[in-house]
Amino acid sequence: MGVPSLASPPPLFSIRRVISAALEEDLAYGDLTSTLLIPPTLLARADIIAKAHMIVAGVAVAREVFQSIDSTLELTTHAGDGSMVRPLTTILSMKGKAQSLLQGERIALNFLQRLSGISTLTHQFCEAVRDYPVALVDTRKTTPGLRALEKWAVRLGGGKNHRFSLHDGILIKDNHLMVMASQRMNITQTCLWARQHAPHGLQICVEVETIAQVRQALKGKADVLLLDNMTPRHVKQAIDIIQKQALVEVSGGMTLDNVRDMAEAGPDFISIGALTHSAPSMDLSMEIVPLRTKRRPQKRQR
């Protein structure tokens, strides 16, 4: 068995769980319009088409949506996940019962539009800093229930994933430090305490906002310093002080207009919440055409 690619989708059971919730939301009581208007045996062909330049994400999910509704549908992928496509590119073709195609249309498009928006925005950010040795990472600012899919879309766009859950690493943020200060522990003491009691092998990352806090975190032997809401000038100053004693991550207010300036400052990572919380949905649509059926010749009356 091969090793999964970084761009591999989440496990199938995880995808199916999300789809099950979407199907319950949209089809728990059936499709009244299609049931009333369309014969259950009528066959059709449908194409999902991109209406803009984009990095495609969510084809594996869209396929599973239609398969969950009707396993007899014939599906053909024309542009797989991670593909860069132009407007009017056909992403996915389906053939089968018209009712089934219409029932899966909106659910499949919702996933494709959302995930392709994330992968496309991530790609744009990656292109903006392509001349610098910096990794762009996401955050936990994701849609409830869709984190695994949205982080997959980030990878398809060329980004990397930060923590998937609170159990994946130790990230001491400003609110943690505020609480620890009430226990009369400063940043240095907090980092040392975390180092002493953390599970083996886990890095200690601490969020800092000032140069003074940078010095305290270094005394606490933090592995990663998260420089929050610092200007590129202050980031450069902090990096000069850190001198590779720790990895440097920056965050706060990253946009396509300013991310290149921040990358030029020299951090190892730039974390961008906007990749998942502000990505615009991409424009895709489904076009359907009924298939003609041959009529049986009628017997002549004598």
Annotated active-site residue in 16, 95, 141, 236: 141
252 assigned binding-site residue: yes
Q: Is 173 a catalytic residue?
A: yes
30 assigned binding-site residue: no
Between CA 95 and CA 104 the distance in angstroms is 12
Q: Is 207 a catalytic residue?
A: yes
170 assigned binding-site residue: no
207 assigned binding-site residue: yes
Annotated active-site residue in 81, 138, 150, 207: 207
Determine if residue 99 is left, alpha or beta; phi over 0 gives left, psi from -120 to 50 gives alpha, anything else beta: alpha
- Cα of 30 vs its chain's centroid, Å: 30
Annotated active-site residue in 25, 173, 261, 287: 173
Determine if residue 30 is left, alpha or beta; phi over 0 gives left, psi from -120 to 50 gives alpha, anything else beta: left
Between CA 156 and CA 55 the distance in angstroms is 8
Q: Is 221 a catalytic residue?
A: no
Annotated active-site residue in 64, 105, 138, 228: 228
Residue type, 279: A
**CB proximity list for 247: less than 8 A, separation 6 or greater:** 223, 224, 225, 268, 269
244 assigned binding-site residue: no
253 assigned binding-site residue: yes
145 assigned binding-site residue: no
Tell me the residue length of the chain.
Answer: 302
63 assigned binding-site residue: no
295 assigned binding-site residue: no
Annotated active-site residue in 45, 106, 221, 260: 106
Rounded (10°) CA dihedral 239, 242, 245, 251: -50
Between CA 25 and CA 120 the distance in angstroms is 27
228 assigned binding-site residue: yes
163 assigned binding-site residue: yes
β-bridge partners, 227: 208, 250
Instruction: Using the structure block, give the residue that is written with the tokens 């769980």.
Output: 17
Instruction: Using the structure block, give the residue that is written with the tokens 């600012």.
Output: 141
106 assigned binding-site residue: yes
| Annotated binding-site ranges | 106, 139-141, 163, 173, 207, 228, 251-253, 272-274
| Annotated binding-site ranges for substrate | 106, 139-141, 163, 173, 207, 228, 251-253, 272-274
- Residues with catalytic function: 106, 141, 173, 207, 228
